[in-house]
C-alpha cells in the first residue's frame, strides 16, 4: 500500500528540508533522502557563510530576504570578510571589492586581522564586518523539526522510479511506494536526473566540484577571530573553523553527480596560491574533501513549478548560496504553491522562474 502525502520532496539537503518545512504549513510532506543522514552531500560540505553582497542580483535578493530569519533563529555569528591581492591584480581587485561591498583597508590593518599575510606580496586589501558564519547544522535541524511535526523524513530512501498518476505522482524509493499531488525536486546535483525519471525536461544543471583542505592553525596561533579571506581572482579562500583553518582552491570543475572527493593536483595548486600570500607554509593537512555546487546555465536559482507540469516543482541550482538563501527560497516556493504574493522584487522573481530556461 502506498503512503499518501500532499507533497513529496526529493532531497534532504538544506534546499529540500527548508522547502519541506515551509510546505508543511500547507499539507502533509514526505521528504525522501537517498543517504543515511540529512545534509550528506553539498550541504554537509559548505563554507557556511552569510554574505549579502555575494552572487548575482536574484541571489542577493534572496539573501537579504533571509537575513531576519537567520538572526531570529540564532544561527549567525560574527566573522568578517577580507579580500587581498598582489600588485598585479590591482584592476581586478578594484572591481571585486566594490561588487562585494567591502571597504579598502591598509596593510597594517590587514595584518592585524590576519597576521600571517605576507607583507611582501599583499598590495591591496578590503574588509567588511557585515559577514557572518552560519551554524548550518542548527539551521538544518531546526527546519527538520518543523517538517517532522507535520510530516515525515525518510532517509536511506533512494528513488528508484517516478510515475505520473491521475492525481499527481507516485515515487518508489527503497521498495516502498509514496504518492502525492505535488513533487518537489530538491535533489542537488541530481536534479536533472530526477527530472528525467519523472519524464520532465531537464534544465541543464551543471555540478561543479570545489575542494577543501583542513589545516592545523598556522604556527599554533588562535585563529578564531580571523576573518574569512578571499584571494583576488577567486584564486583561493581561507576560513577559521573550530581551531583550524579551512583553505580552498575555489575551483569550479564540471563533473557528473557523485559523492565528490578532492582532486590532489587541484588541491595542491590551490594551496600553493594560498602559500604565496602568507608567511606560514603548509606542512600538514588534517583532512580534505570536496563538494558539488550545482548551477543552472545562468547561475540563478530555479524555484517553482515546471513550465510543462505545474505539479512538478523545482527547488534547485543553489550553487554556493544554499544556506544563506534557504529561508527566502523556502517561503517563495510555498507562496507559489499557495498563490500568496511574494515580497521579493519582481525582477528577482522573473530570474528565478523555471520557464526562463525552457
Average pLDDT over residues 326-355: 97
Give the pLDDT of residue 46.
77
CB distance 13 to 93 below 8 Å? no
Give the pLDDT of residue 55.
84
Residue 135 has pLDDT above 80, yes or no: yes
Residues 251 and 279 placed together within one structural domain of the fold:
yes
DSSP per residue, 46-103: ---EEETT-SSHHHHHHHHHHHHHHHHTT-EEE--EEEEE-GGGHHHHHHHHHHTT-E
Give the pLDDT of residue 1.
56
The answer as to whether 31 is a domain residue is: yes
CB distance 198 to 183 below 8 Å? yes
The answer as to whether 169 is a domain residue is: yes
Q: Whole-model pTM?
A: 0.95
Give the pLDDT of residue 244.
96
Total number of domains in the chain: 2
Q: How confident is the model at residue 49 (pLDDT cuts 50, 70, 90)?
A: confident
Residues 30 and 151 placed together within one structural domain of the fold:
yes
3-class DSSP assignment, residue 13? coil
Give the pLDDT of residue 158.
96
DSSP per residue, 345-357: -HHHHHHH-GGGG
Residues 330 and 345 placed together within one structural domain of the fold:
yes
Which residue, among 19, 12, 4, 113, has the nearest Cα to 313 in the 3D structure?
19
The answer as to whether 329 is a domain residue is: yes
CB distance 207 to 253 below 8 Å? no
3-class DSSP assignment, residue 291? strand
Residues 301 and 291 placed together within one structural domain of the fold:
no
Amino acid at each position: 500500500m502506498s503512503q499518501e502525502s500532499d507533497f513529496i520532496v526529493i532531497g534532504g539537503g538544506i534546499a529540500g528540508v527548508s522547502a519541506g518545512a515551509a510546505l508543511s504549513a500547507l499539507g502533509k510532506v514526505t521528504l525522501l533522502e537517498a543517504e543515511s543522514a540529512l545534509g550528506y552531500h553539498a550541504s554537509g560540505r559548505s563554507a557556511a557563510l552569510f554574505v549579502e553582497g555575494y552572487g548575482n542580483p536574484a541571489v542577493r535578493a534572496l539573501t537579504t530576504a533571509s537575513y531576519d530569519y537567520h538572526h531570529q533563529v540564532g544561527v549567525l555569528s560574527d566573522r568578517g570578510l577580507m579580500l587581498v591581492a598582489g600588485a598585479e591584480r590591482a584592476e581586478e581587485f578594484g572591481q571585486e571589492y566594490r561588487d562585494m561591498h567591502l571597504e579598502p583597508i591598509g596593510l597594517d590593518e590587514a595584518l592585524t586581522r590576519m597576521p600571517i599575510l605576507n607583507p611582501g606580496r599583499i598590495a591591496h586589501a578590503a574588509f567588511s564586518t557585515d559577514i557572518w558564519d552560519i551554524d548550518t547544522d542548527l539551521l538544518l535541524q531546526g527546519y527538520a523539526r518543523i517538517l517532522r511535526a507535520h510530516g515525515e523524513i525518510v532517509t536511506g530512501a533512494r528513488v528508484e522510479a517516478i510515475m505520473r498518476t491521475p492525481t499527481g505522482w507516485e515515487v518508489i524509493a527503497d521498495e516502498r511506494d509514496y504518492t502525492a499531488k505535488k513533487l518537489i525536486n530538491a535533489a542537488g546535483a541530481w536534479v536533472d536526473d530526477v527530472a528525467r525519471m519523472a519524464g520532465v525536461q531537464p534544465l541543464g544543471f551543471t555540478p561543479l566540484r570545489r575542494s577543501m583542505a583542513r589545516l592545523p592553525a598556522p604556527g599554533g596561533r588562535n585563529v578564531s577571530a580571523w576573518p574569512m579571506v578571499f584571494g583576488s581572482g577567486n584564486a583561493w579562500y581561507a576560513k577559521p573553523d573550530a581551531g583550524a583553518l579551512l583553505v580552498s582552491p575555489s575551483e569550479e570543475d564540471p563533473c557528473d553527480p557523485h559523492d565528490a572527493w578532492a582532486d590532489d593536483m587541484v588541491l595542491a595548486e590551490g594551496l600553493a596560491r594560498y602559500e604565496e600570500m602568507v608567511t606560514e607554509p603548509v606542512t600538514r593537512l588534517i583532512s580534505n574533501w570536496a563538494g558539488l555546487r550545482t548551477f543552472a546555465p545562468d547561475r540563478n536559482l530555479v524555484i517553482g513549478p515546471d513550465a510543462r507540469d505545474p505539479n512538478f516543482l523545482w527547488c534547485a541550482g543553489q550553487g554556493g548560496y544554499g544556506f544563506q538563501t534557504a529561508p527566502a527560497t523556502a517561503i517563495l516556493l510555498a507562496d507559489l504553491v499557495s498563490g500568496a504574493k511574494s515580497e521579493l522584487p519582481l525582477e528577482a522573481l522573473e530570474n528565478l522562474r523555471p520557464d526562463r530556461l525552457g
